[in-house]
């Protein structure tokens, strides 16, 4: 995997979206390598009755069309989330829509749920070996008159094909999508997707966990509303958060003012604070996946201490390559041992117990 240090300068001569396409092509053709280092047993954890070899996952957005799930698992991720997928194929927003902020090690995207659609996505899920944990992240088509119906359609189609399911209600690049985080809207949506899952998998023992992915820009009232709805509806978990529409002070890159969602290290503090508030508001009663800004084992550990049972990353791979996965895991294990934790689960929410 150190080959990334050689090819990165060449990839960065291309547009970010073209470079991503080449990365996916390399993964499809088994040219990206695989992890050779076994996971530290300390990192094994169990959430939703699923056994994760480590808590470091790939966030949705990298593998939108479920084409390289197993190749990414082979790089050492403990789990991979594919999507977001929309019921019908759609092209997304006009290009350019992806920007590397090299000086900030960050990314801005305004893809707008570009997707090959559910039929392609489900076929890819159905064809895989089912070795390793994969989540399916669903969204809505841009012009859908009934957003919740689109999510229910997605959940119905992928239920039974993935190990866990996610409704993405927080992308900033689809008009009106983030309004689904309002209390009445998210409550209605969750009820409808839970019912869609029940119909698709009547046996409760065979129902995959269902999560909602919310953004990092929530205010205190929104956090409280979502926490109360999550607990009342019985949804299985939350992902906190998505990209941010804010622009933290100190960004240096020339593209920092581009519209879209910002990800990478500048998002770390904001997303982790939101995660911490959500953990406190839910009383730690439902698992949370922490996402946003992770670039090191210390970052992953901070998410876990703030309340994350699992952690996802994506944007930092653009700058550090696939070898980052192994480094993050080694550093996380060192952090856990340094603080005397016998497991990942023992560290979840530790910052709230100080």
Q: Which residues contact 354 (CB under 8 A, 6 or more apart)?
A: none
> Can you give the pLDDT at residue 1?
42
Crossing angle of helices 183-200 and 220-233, rounded to 10° = 30
C-alpha angle 305-165-152 in degrees, rounded to nearest 5: 135
**Domain range summary for the chain, segments of one domain joined by +:** 41-348
> Can you give the pLDDT at residue 153?
98
Nearest in space to 52 (alpha carbons), one of 71, 77, 83, 33: 77
Active site residues: 171
CA distance 193 to 289: 19
Tokens of 92: 């997304």
> Can you give the pLDDT at residue 3?
66
| pLDDT beneath 70: ranges in the chain | 1-3, 5-6
> Can you give the pLDDT at residue 173?
84
* Domain with residues 41-348, CATH architecture: Alpha-Beta Barrel (3.20)
**What size, in residues, is the chain?**
354
Nearest in space to 304 (alpha carbons), one of 350, 266, 240, 340: 350
> Can you give the pLDDT at residue 256?
97
Q: What is the CA radius of gyration of the chain?
A: 19
> Can you give the pLDDT at residue 6?
67
H helix or E strand, kind and range, residue 100: strand 98-101
Average pLDDT taken over every residue of the chain: 95
Crossing angle of helices 297-306 and 268-282, rounded to 10° = 30
pTM of the prediction?
0.96
């Amino acid at each position: 995997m150190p080959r990334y240090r050689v090819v990165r300068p060449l990839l960065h001569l291309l547009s970010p979206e073209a470079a991503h396409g080449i990365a996916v092509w390399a993964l499809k053709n088994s040219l990206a390598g695989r992890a050779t280092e076994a996971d530290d047993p300390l990192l094994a954890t169990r959430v939703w009755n699923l056994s994760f070899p480590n808590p470091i996952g790939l966030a949705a957005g990298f593998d939108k069309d479920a084409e390289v799930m197993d190749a990414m698992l082979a790089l050492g991720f403990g789990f991979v989330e594919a999507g977001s997928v929309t019921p019908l194929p759609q092209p997304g927003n006009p290009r350019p829509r992806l920007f590397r902020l090299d000086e900030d090690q960050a990314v801005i995207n305004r893809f707008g749920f570009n997707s090959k659609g559910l039929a392609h996505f489900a076929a890819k899920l159905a064809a895989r070996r089912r070795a390793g944990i994969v989540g399916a992240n669903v969204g809505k088509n841009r012009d859908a008159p009934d957003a919740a119906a689109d999510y229910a359609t997605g959940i119905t189609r992928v239920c039974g094909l993935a190990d866990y399911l996610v409704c993405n209600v927080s992308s900033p690049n689809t008009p009106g999508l983030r309004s689904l985080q309002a209390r009445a809207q998210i409550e209605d949506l969750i009820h409808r997707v839970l019912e869609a899952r029940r119909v698709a998998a009547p046996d409760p023992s065979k129902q995959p966990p269902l999560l909602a992915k919310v953004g990092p820009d929530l205010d205190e009232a929104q956090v409280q509303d979502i926490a109360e709805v999550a607990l009342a509806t019985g949804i299985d978990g939350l992902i906190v958060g998505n990209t941010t529409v804010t622009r933290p002070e100190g960004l240096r890159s020339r593209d920092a003012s581009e519209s879209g969602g910002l990800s990478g290290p500048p998002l770390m503090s904001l997303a982790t604070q939101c995660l911490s508030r959500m953990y406190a508001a839910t009383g730690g009663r439902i698992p949370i996946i922490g996402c946003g800004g992770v670039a090191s084992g210390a970052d992953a550990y901070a998410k876990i201490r703030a309340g994350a049972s699992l952690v996802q990353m994506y944007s930092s791979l653009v700058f550090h390559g696939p070898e980052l996965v192994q480094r993050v895991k080694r550093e996380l294990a060192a952090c856990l041992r340094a603080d005397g934790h016998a497991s990942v689960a023992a560290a979840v929410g530790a910052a709230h117990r100080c």
